[in-house]
Amino acid sequence: MTHDILISGFGGQGVMAIGKTLAEGGMKEGYEVSWLPSYGPEMRGGTANCSVVISDDMIISPIVLEPTLLIAMNTPSLVKFGPNVIPEGKVFVNSSIVDMAVERTDVSAYYVPTMEIAQKLGNPRVANMVMLGAVNHVTGLLREETVREMLSQLFTGPKANLVELNLEALRMGAACAANDACMIWSNTHEYHD
Amino acid sequence: MSKELWKGNEAIAEAAIRAGCRYFFGYPITPQNEIPEYMSLHLPEAGGVFLQAESEVAAINMVYGAAGSGARVMTSSSSPGISLKQEGISYLAGAELPCVIVNIMRGGPGLGTIQPAQGDYFQATRGGGNGDYRLIVLAPSTIQEACDHVRDAFDIADRYRNPVMILADGMIGQMMEAVEWQPSESRTLPEKTWATVGTGGTRKPNIINSLFIDPNESERHNAHLNEKYDVMRAEEVRYEATIPDDADVLFVAYGTPARLAKAAIRLLAKEGITGGLFRPISLWPFPEKPLNEAASAASVKAVVTVEMSLGQLVDDVKIAVNGVKPVSLCGKAGGIVPTPREVADAALAALGRK
Amino acid sequence: MAIVYQKSKGLTDLEMHYCPGCTHGVIHKLVAEALVDLNLLEHTIGVAPVGCSVFAYNYFNCDMHEAAHGRAPAVATGIKRVLPQNTVFTYQGDGDLAAIGTAEIIHAAMRGEHFTTIFVNNAIYGMTGGQMAPTTLVGQKATTAPHGRDRAHYGQPLHMAEIMATIGGAAYSTRVTVVDMPHMMKARTAIRKAFQMQMEGKGFTFVEVLSTCPTNWGMTPVEALGWVKDTMINEFPLGVFKDADSKEGS
């Protein structure tokens, strides 16, 4: 099993954080992992992307050119990387801002209105965790305890309350992906619950 | 030991602190900035000193001063910054001072690009500064290996009284992988009786110097250095060879391209071609003899050098292979990383199948 | 027999290579005597430059580093950061300090590095054969300014002691000379004060010493001493440009 994951979006959408959480969580679950960011001045305010490889075998190349799983947090990411996803691959679309459907029929598309769900939880900053929840539901890579453990190390002291909020975002994302409606493109950005 | 997820640059810095490095002098340049940033926070916690210098030139000369006073000291930079440090590196080698220099390579020439490249191979292995001198050059291809190399580098530097360079491409600096911190082998290292710490009135002054104005004395000094380099050639060669008995093609690559060559070997396997990988880990001293033996295997029809530069490593490969098999180059430069497909196609071309 | 004069224990027995009439030897002696009298010599590390005093590491009877051209302040920074309790000094000429090593000296002062710089200004490159220095006077001939330094082409001399005085980390900056006994006594005091302030942790200390180069100036030793007094001092006035001690006192 090897997941070649590409996560792409605007700077500030938590693209790098989704990748790091996947990589670190994967490591804690006993997999081999790598995380590779795009870097450079164009990252600021422009597009940001990172490659994450999670495998039960030694990781050869950390560069993901043909993802088995693409997380497109904005439209340019879907346009740019959508065609590179392998046949039978998975495409997770942040349908809150991506204004187009996945046209390919040889991949599975999941439309996750991350911002609407995050808004429901009262904190737009957990949108990336919503997406992670959806991805995790489909791939089954990380256990909730593992994510909780990581969040508990990240959020301590006065920020400790963010652990539960992020876990709730993870669950809501998973619930979204569990609903068949999430595989149907809708331009109303409506949240099916 | 538990695994921890580390970014290459930060892991290199942490590994240095764990190896007893207590002084770091550097200057900002992408893509190695996480090294000085990490040092600025964590070296003082370990009782050390971090200093951001006014230039790369000043930084390496601060290293010279600190090393001469007997400290474990490191600097890091990326390609254009390493060019600026060459003066100091030559003086360090000439005065026989131990230190560790990290080069997280980016594309060149000139200002180039901040994307990963390996265009500093000649500079690292052929000197770079003036005069006849050598650095031990270690090239990691994983974060774990980068940590292990840094750990070993300080001991190697102390053993030979010689600078050691860690040569990694920007990819190694920027990516994250799991690291297990390995305790260093406890080596018996020579005491630094030559260090300038003040005579204390008990001995003659120590002089840190690379000036030998009398050509006869200068020749003797060079001969002494070369004897030391011969010991390094005999004792510090490192490489990894993953070569099946029936390998049709032998890839030679270091750092990130070595990983891509492994991916290409998997692609070729699906096409009925067996590939092997010879990965030099010490770029100087170069594993000349082991590579010659690997290339001499009867099944090997072609040797393909994969590098993120346009024909640098391949020179050493040709010297090592010494005509026993044809050597070709799959090179990319300017910050572009070759794809496994391109590497596999280069092998097919070398085998006359494309 | 009574000893009436003895070479300082701060200097080795080696014969110096300096030209007749050059005052490097006097300046070496003043530095060495200061280190001995202040009881610092055994804990001192000196840094020699590239230039006429390149062999200074053979003359000072303490641990020494030979630095690359202009880099002595960076080397001294490395040493002093490792050995904060020791005494550290650089001994540099005008090409070394005021041309190729300008960045290093300015930034060492900026950081308030706790070492002392002895800056020997003789307004010319001596070792390489009389080329123009950043401190060469306007109109002064040099082998790379055969018609004399032309202001329109090369600008005017750098006044390093004044420049150092403007830098926050510098605790002491002065200009002295050693062309006669009264000046020598003032130079002696200045050098001692610089080392004392270093050891008291006051900050960076800088002593510029106007020196001679009869060989490259094309003068006799006596003429050269006179030229410093009559001409060079007019361009480079002697005096204390910064003294953190007196500021504290006032």
% pLDDT > 90, chain B = 96
Query: Does residue A193 register a pLDDT over 60?
Result: no
Interface chains of chain B (3 or more CB pairs under 8 Å): A, C
Q: Is C61 on the interface with B (CB under 8 A)?
A: yes
- Tell me what ipTM this predicted complex has: 0.95
Residue ranges per structural domain of chain B? 4-235, 239-350
Among C65, C74, C79, the residue with its CB nearest the CB of B53 is C74
Residue C73 pLDDT: 98
Determine, yes or no, domain membership for C28: yes
Q: Chain B contacts of C78, Cβ < 8 Å? A: 23, 25, 61-69, 73
Q: What's the pLDDT at A108?
A: 97
| Nearest CB partner across the interface for C68, out of B49, B61, B201 | B61
Residue corresponding to tokens 């510029």: C208
CATH class, range B239-350:
alpha beta
- Model confidence pLDDT, tens digit, residues B265-321: 999 999 999 999 999 999 999 999 999 999 999 999 999 999 999 999 999 999 999
**Mean pLDDT, rounded, of chain A:** 92
A-chain CB neighbours of B340 within 8 Å are 61
Q: Is there a domain that residue C215 lies in?
A: yes
> What pLDDT was estimated at residue B184?
75
Query: Average pLDDT in the B182-196 region?
Result: 89
> Domain range for residue C85?
24-244
Would C195 be classed as within a structural domain? yes
- Name the fold adopted by B4-235: Rossmann fold (3.40.50)
Q: Residue A130: its pLDDT value, please?
A: 97
Chain A and chain B share a number of CB contacts under 8 A equal to 53
> What region, left, alpha or beta, does residue A189 occupy, with left being phi > 0 and alpha being psi -120 to 50 degrees?
left
**Domain residue limits, chain A:** 2-183
Residue C14 forms part of a structural domain? no
Task: Using the structure block, give the residue that is written with the tokens 């001469």.
Answer: B68
pLDDT tens profile B110-167: 999 999 999 999 999 998 999 999 999 999 999 999 999 999 999 999 999 999 999 9
| Separation in Å, CA of B272 to nearest CA in chain C | 58
**Are there at least 3 beta-carbon pairs closer than 8 Å between A and C?**
no
Residue B133 confidence (pLDDT): 98
Q: Which CATH class is domain A2-183?
A: alpha beta
Token pair for C96 = 């070394």
Q: What one-character DSSP code corresponds to residue A189? A: -
The pair of structure tokens assigned to A135 is 């991805």
Q: Looking at the complex, report in whole angstroms how far the Cα of residue A92 sits from the nearest Cα belonging to chain B.
A: 23
> Which residue, among B49, B50, B69, B197, would best test binding to C if mutated, counting the most C CBs under 10 Å from its CB?
B69
Q: What average pLDDT does the segment B195-202 reach?
A: 97
Q: Is the pLDDT of residue A190 over 60?
A: no
Relative orientation angle of helices A144-154 and A15-28, to the nearest 10 degrees: 120
Give the distance from residue C39's alpha carbon to the nearest chain B alpha carbon, in angstroms.
11
Q: pLDDT category, B185, cuts 50, 70, 90?
A: confident
Q: What percent of chain A stands above pLDDT 70?
A: 92
Q: B263, A36: Cβ pair inside 8 Å?
A: no
Distances from the Cα of A121 to the Cα of A114, A129, A166, angstroms: 11, 11, 9
Q: How far is B120 from chain C (nearest CA, A)?
A: 23
Residue C124 lies in a domain: yes
CB contact under 8 A, B339 and A62: no
Task: Share the mean pLDDT of chain B.
Answer: 97
Q: For the stretch C171-208, what's the b/e string if a residue is b when 16 or more beta carbons lie within 10 angstroms of its beta carbon?
A: bbbbbbbbbeeebbebbbebbbbbbbbbbeebbbbbbb
Residue B257: closest C-alpha in chain A: A61
B311 touching chain A per CB within 8 A: no
Question: Does residue A47 have a pLDDT over 90?
Answer: no
CB proximity C76 to B under 8 Å: yes
Q: Please give the pLDDT value at position A186.
A: 77
At B244-258, the pLDDT tens digits run 999 999 999 999 999
Residue B196 · residue C79 · CB < 8 Å: yes
Q: What is the pLDDT along chain C (250 residues), one digit of tens a residue?
A: 788 998 999 999 999 999 999 999 999 999 999 999 999 999 999 999 999 999 999 999 999 999 999 999 999 999 999 999 999 999 999 999 999 999 999 999 999 999 999 999 999 999 999 999 999 999 999 999 999 999 999 999 999 999 999 999 999 999 999 999 999 999 999 999 999 999 999 999 999 999 999 999 999 999 999 999 999 999 999 999 999 999 654 4
Could you give the number of structural domains in chain C? 1
- What's residue C227's pLDDT? 98
With 70 as the cut, is the pLDDT of residue A86 above it? Answer: yes
Say whether B239-350 and B4-235 share the same fold: yes
Q: If we measure between CA atoms, which residue out of B297, B199, B287, B190 comes closest to residue B243?
A: B297
Q: Give C79→chain B minimum CA distance, Å.
A: 5
User: Is there a contact between C63 and B207 if contact means CB atoms under 8 Å apart?
Assistant: yes
Q: What is the pLDDT of residue A43?
A: 47
Asked whether the predicted pLDDT for residue A3 surpasses 90, the reply is: yes
